[in-house]
Each structure stands twice: as structure tokens, then as C-alpha cells.
């Protein structure tokens, strides 16, 4: 490790995407924190990413901000008033970061993103060390620049990409698991909600999460209903549906269409309680969305209905089955299917999902300690 990074005690970790993206950075954050005794980490993240702070022990603090160059930021109206508002919004994090007197910033991005806006923000805030992957020559915007090898020469899992970034400045860790640690109160609340619904929390049951922030990553609702019927017939285990309050209508429609006695906790769980419920479940079935990575973090086997929007976000370091239907338009990086058919998910037969759940249950009984990345 170079002397300037060895002296860096206050580190800003920049990840301005969603919760799942933040979780996939946690092994790299752990390596950063453990490399220097007494080092502290603060996340600059979107509101959804910042919500993970109580559950990520590697983080000491968070600054929530919707950056104007990310999907989490609403488009501004083309007016002088909107421009003034945007300028004021941009100025606020500069002042906030400058006041914190960070020694270094690590900017985490996917290969489809540019690190330069965040690098400029950190430079203007007076942060002396700034590390990121970058395709263009950043000149003085980055003190530590890794020319981005993706996708020209390779494509890595998101976790591997971020680990490679911090390794450049001498930070390594043998502990490669994702971090999400529900609190005791979260387990107490989750157990109480399950028990109130007639489910014994410590006996096998299946959690199903049909929602996702992007429409292109949602398994069709009719397929979900068919999956519920198959699981009810073949496994005869309790089925619990989860989702945000905004997804309650989707979940209720699936529950009604399935005509099986599944339990809906949509809109009723806090983030910590969802993490606890995922930990208590025997298997989780999710789209490629935050709860898939939460399941990986708490060690619950997951069936990931994986829209082929990108290749880097499969479940990490957990027993899993990744299901998709291969298509010529794979890796479109779109939030809405540009072809209109969503064949990469619609082509996954519900029986494949039920079979994958059964396979994970069987594997857990045969070798409870085994996991695969």
C-alpha cells in the first residue's frame, strides 16, 4: 500500500445506485476498512442505498444524495428555475463533503458508468485521494486511475470488479461474503409477523419476491401465479410473498390469481425485517433485484429469475439457481424491454422454477454447509 493510502483514515465510498449495487460493494468495503486500523468508511449513496446503513457493519456513516447523473434522480424541467435548483442541489454535497475532510474517496461504478462526475465532485470537495476505474484519461480528476478493462477484454461479476479496484491500493480481504446483518429486533418482528399469519418461522417455508424496480427485470405475474400453484401442489410448504408498499397491488393480484393460500407481507416489512425474513426462509425466489443480494448476504439459497439485461449481478457466494431464457438481444442494459416481448424471462417455464426450488431444498438437506459463488 502506498504511503498516502496508508495514512488515509477517513474514506468516502461513492456508490450512487440502488441497494443491491451497494451490497455488491461490501466485500471491497470490508477490505478497505480492515487494511488500516482505525479507518472509517462513509457511503455517499442514493436514498435506497443509504437505507442499508444500519445493516452494513463496514460502514460508519452515510450521506444520502440523488445524483443528477444516475437513474435515481428525477429529470429536471428545462427552465431557469430548474437549472438554479439543480445548481443548488449540486453545491450542497460539495459543501457537505468538504466539511467532512475525507482523506480519500473510492468511486464504485459498473463498466457502463463514468466515474468522472463523482470524481469532479470529490475533487471540488478537496478530497486528495480519488480512486476509480475509468476508460478516458481523467487527468487530475483521479489520483489513482485504473484503465477500465471491461467490456473490451473481460466482464467480471460486480463483486470481483470492486475487489479489483481496492486491491490496486493494497486493500485485500479473504472474507468475500456480502454484508447485510439484520438486528435482533428485526428477527423478533419478522417472527411475530409470520406467527400471526399462521407460519412457524423455524420450520421450512418459501419466500417469493415478485417485484423489481425495472419492468424488464420482472418475471410475468401470470407465471408467478403458476409457480405458486406448482409449489403448493408439489412441496406443500407455506408460501410467503413480499414486496414494497408500491408493489402490494402486484402481489395481491398474483396471490388472487394463484388461488392458493399464500401469505402476503407486501408493504408490511421494514428493510431489516425483510432481511430477517430472508434469513429465516428455507429458499427465496426473486427477480434480479435487491432482495436476491440480501438473500445472498444472509446465506439463504436463492432461485434468481434473471432477466438478461446485464451479466454481472448473479447471486454471489450462496447456493443458487439462476434461471433465464437465452435471447439474441441479451445484455441490453434497459429498464424496459426494448423488444417488447421480455422473452428472457417470459421464456422461463414455471415448472423450471418449481424444480429449482426443490433442488435447493434437497441440496440444503444433503449438505447444509456447502455454497457456490
Q: What is the pTM of this model?
A: 0.90
| 3-state SS assignment for residue 129 | strand
pLDDT tens, position by position, 266-298: 999 999 999 999 999 999 999 999 999 999 999
User: What is the CATH code for 184-366?
Assistant: 3.40.50.2000
What is the C-alpha separation between 294 and 288, in angstroms, rounded?
11
What is the C-alpha separation between 1 and 167, in angstroms, rounded?
9
What would the grid cell of residue 360 be? 435447493
User: What is the CATH code for 3-167?
Assistant: 3.40.50.2000
pLDDT tens, position by position, 140-194: 999 999 999 999 999 999 999 999 999 999 999 889 999 999 999 999 999 999 9
CATH 3.40.50.2000 residue ranges for the chain: 3-167, 184-366
| 3-state SS assignment for residue 258 | helix
pLDDT tens, position by position, 196-216: 999 999 999 999 999 998 888
- 242 and 291 in contact (C-beta within 8 Å)? yes
- Closest among 119, 156, 125, 155 to 139, alpha carbons compared: 119
What b-and-e string marks burial along 341-373, b requiring 16 or more CB atoms within 10 Å of the CB? ebbbbbebebebbbbbbeebbebbeeeeeebee
What's the Cα-to-Cα distance from 314 to each of 2, 140, 188, 336, 357, rounded to whole Å? 33, 35, 30, 19, 17
Amino acid at each position: 500500500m502506498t504511503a498516502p493510502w496508508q495514512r488515509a483514515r477517513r474514506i468516502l465510498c461513492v456508490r450512487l445506485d440502488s441497494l443491491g449495487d451497494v451490497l455488491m460493494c461490501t466485500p471491497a468495503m470490508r477490505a478497505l476498512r480492515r487494511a488500516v486500523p482505525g479507518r472509517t468508511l462513509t457511503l455517499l449513496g442514493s436514498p435506497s442505498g443509504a437505507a442499508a446503513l444500519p445493516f452494513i457493519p463496514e460502514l460508519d456513516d452515510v450521506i444520502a444524495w440523488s445524483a443528477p447523473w444516475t437513474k435515481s434522480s428525477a429529470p429536471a424541467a428545462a427552465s431557469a428555475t430548474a437549472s438554479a435548483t439543480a445548481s443548488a442541489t449540486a453545491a450542497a454535497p460539495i459543501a457537505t463533503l468538504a466539511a467532512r475532510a475525507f482523506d480519500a474517496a473510492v468511486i464504485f461504478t459498473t463498466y457502463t458508468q463514468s466515474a468522472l462526475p463523482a470524481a469532479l465532485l470529490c475533487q471540488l470537495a478537496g478530497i486528495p485521494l480519488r480512486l476509480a476505474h475509468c476508460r478516458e484519461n481523467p487527468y487530475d480528476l483521479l489520483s489513482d486511475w485504473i484503465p477500465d478493462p471491461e467490456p473490451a477484454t473481460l466482464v467480471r461479476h460486480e463483486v470481483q470488479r470492486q475487489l479489483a479496484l481496492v486491491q490496486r491500493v493494497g486493500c485485500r480481504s479473504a472474507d468475500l461474503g456480502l454484508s447485510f446483518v439484520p438486528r435482533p429486533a428485526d428477527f423478533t418482528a419478522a417472527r411475530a409477523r409470520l406467527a400471526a399469519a399462521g407460519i412457524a418461522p423455524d420450520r421450512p417455508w418459501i419466500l417469493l419476491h415478485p417485484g423489481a424496480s425495472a419492468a424488464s427485470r420482472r418475471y410475468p405475474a401470470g407465471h408467478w401465479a403458476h409457480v405458486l400453484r406448482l409449489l403448493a401442489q408439489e412441496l406443500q410448504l407455506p408460501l410467503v410473498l413480499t414486496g414494497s408498499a408500491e408493489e402490494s397491488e402486484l402481489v395481491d393480484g398474483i396471490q388472487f390469481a394463484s388461488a392458493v393460500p399464500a401469505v402476503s407481507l407486501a408493504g408490511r416489512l421494514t428493510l431489516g425485517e425483510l432481511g430477517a425474513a430472508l434469513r429465516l426462509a428455507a429458499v427465496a425466489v426473486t427477480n434480479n433485484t435487491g432482495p436476491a443480494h440480501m438473500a445472498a448476504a444472509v446465506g439463504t439459497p436463492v432461485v434468481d429469475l434473471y432477466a438478461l439485461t446485464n451479466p454481472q449481478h448473479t447471486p454471489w457466494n450462496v447456493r443458487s439457481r439462476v434461471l433465464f431464457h437465452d435471447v439474441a438481444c441479451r445484455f441490453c442494459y434497459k429498464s424496459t424491454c426494448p423488444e417488447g416481448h421480455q422473452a428472457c424471462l417470459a421464456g422461463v417455464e414455471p415448472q423450471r422454477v418449481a424444480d429449482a426450488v426443490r433442488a435447493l431444498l434437497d441440496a440444503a438437506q444433503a449438505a447444509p454447509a456447502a455454497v457456490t459463488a
